[in-house]
Amino acid sequence: MHVLVVGGSGLVGSNVVTQARERGFAVDATYHADPTEDATIELDVCDADRVHEVVTNADPDAVVHTAAFHAVDDCESERDRAWAVNAGGTRTVAAAADAVGAHLITLSTDYVFGGDPAAAPFSEADPVNPANYYAETKYAGEVAARSAAEAAVLRPSVVYGTGGTNFVTWALGELEAGEEIGIVDDQVSAPTYAPDLARACLDVVERGLTGTYHATGPVSVSRYEFTVTLAAVFGFDTDLVSAISTEELGQAAPRPADSTLDSSRLSDAIDSRFRGPREGFDAMRNKRG
């Protein structure tokens, strides 16, 4: 099996690269701004000629597309860039994958469900209602991927793990510095541990699955509860974490009150197990998968 990882320098992409090698796959991986030891092919998904060149040269069996502009609040003010990367870029990657007959695995978001929180947990059959512009661009990417290629779309939530900047690495930095942090207690979802998502992507590759799959952990928590658990597992004073409201935080992009996903379709289709926050944080702390 030969896999091309688009966004191989990122949190999910780097985990996909490592685990794909462990499975004995041949791997190529791209970066955009920051090359890594593993991700050495420069690629901007907005450059269609370059995307086709990279995918044609690699000629993989599968493309795992993890690249995105996912600074959710910045997507409100940088709409052209958000659309170009998340919608246009995904369409281009899908077309290029299709041209070489490769299976495409692409990642979306739980934020496509911005509607009635009482309807959570959401299944793949539920109608979307993007919560913000980021989610609109990601949903457009889903549609483009499905129409252009044999594609599987996985929807994770609050992806966390070691490496790069994500909510958890940010919170750990603040706690380590002894800073008090106010975290919203009225945004609920089921966070996804990045190594589990990478494993699921590769299981989907091996089984040749197509279609839409929710890909989150099994535990639905508020961001505040998630962060208190993080502090506890890493031995920080949990009193450093206080609960605030979304209104107090004043984020530029609207967020869903509850975007918990039901990921049973994916767990039924593959053998992989997603960990909840405590297990995921334990694994991070012990620096094991």
Ligand X SMILES: NC(=O)c1ccc[n+]([C@@H]2O[C@H](COP(=O)([O-])OP(=O)(O)OC[C@H]3O[C@@H](n4cnc5c(N)ncnc54)[C@H](OP(=O)(O)O)[C@@H]3O)[C@@H](O)[C@H]2O)c1
* Site for ligand X, rule CB under 6 A: 7, 9-13, 31-34, 43-46, 66-70, 85, 89, 107, 109, 138, 156-159, 164, 166
Residues 6+ apart with CB under 8 A from 141: 86, 87, 89, 90, 91, 106, 108
CA distances, 125 to each of 112, 233, 256, 284 (Å)? 13, 36, 18, 33
Q: How far is the CB of 67 from ligand X (least distance, A)?
A: 3
Report the alpha-carbon distance of residue 140 to residue 133 in Å, rounded.
Answer: 11
The residue among 44 and 78 lying less far from ligand X, judged by its C-beta, is: 44
The residue among 44 and 279 lying less far from ligand X, judged by its C-beta, is: 44
The residue among 117 and 164 lying less far from ligand X, judged by its C-beta, is: 164
- Give yes or no: 111 in active site: no
Give strand ranges (E) for 216-271: 221-222, 241-244
139 and 147 Cβ atoms separated by less than 8 Å: no
Q: How far is the CB of 242 from ligand X (least distance, A)?
A: 22
Q: How far is the CB of 227 from ligand X (least distance, A)?
A: 14
Q: How far is the CB of 58 from ligand X (least distance, A)?
A: 14
State the burial class of residue 49 (Cβ atoms within 10 Å of its Cβ: 0-12, 13-18, 19+). exposed
The residue among 239 and 263 lying less far from ligand X, judged by its C-beta, is: 263
Report the alpha-carbon distance of residue 64 to residue 17 in Å, rounded.
Answer: 10
**Structural tokens at position 281:** 């944080």
Q: How far is the CB of 49 from ligand X (least distance, A)?
A: 13
Please tell me which residue in 133, 134, 160, 224 is annotated as part of the active site.
134
Report the alpha-carbon distance of residue 6 to residue 89 in Å, rounded.
Answer: 11
286 and 162 Cβ atoms separated by less than 8 Å: no
Instruction: Give the DSSP H or E segment for 230.
Output: helix 223-233
Report the alpha-carbon distance of residue 260 to residue 258 in Å, rounded.
Answer: 6
User: Three-state SS for 279?
Assistant: helix
The residue among 10 and 195 lying less far from ligand X, judged by its C-beta, is: 10
The residue among 34 and 268 lying less far from ligand X, judged by its C-beta, is: 34
Report the alpha-carbon distance of residue 195 to residue 199 in Å, rounded.
Answer: 6
Q: How far is the CB of 258 from ligand X (least distance, A)?
A: 15
Tell me the catalytic residues: 134
